[in-house]
Amino acid sequence: MGSPIYLQDMKAVEIRTDYIKLNQFLKWANIAYSGAEANRMIHEGMVKVDGVAEQRRGRKLYPGNRVEVEGFGQYLVVKEGSAGIASKGTYP
């Protein structure tokens, strides 16, 4: 994984597809180690999307969505190739 670049305390995370589900995003961005951990974080209300608490693990995130995870920081979803500033996840 490349080093993330911070945009006003926000880390950009690059995705290769048109969207990514919230629980997959948490794993892709190396916030959660497993799907179970990602689902727990969502269920416990630790995750906000665009400033609103989100409890749907399957919530689709699109480029431009902002994700805030309690204790981990803020993330911006960007499309692959649209920003040379994004960190790449570790998903195959």
* pLDDT, average across residues 62-66: 97
Sequence ranges of the domains in the chain: 10-88
Beta strands in the chain (DSSP E): 10-15, 20-21, 47-49, 52-53, 60-61, 66-69, 73-79, 87-88
Note the pLDDT of residue 92.
Answer: 39
pTM: 0.79
Question: Which class is domain 10-88?
Answer: alpha beta
Confidence at 86, pLDDT banded by 50, 70, 90: very low
**Residue holding tokens 């006003």?**
8
Note the pLDDT of residue 8.
Answer: 66
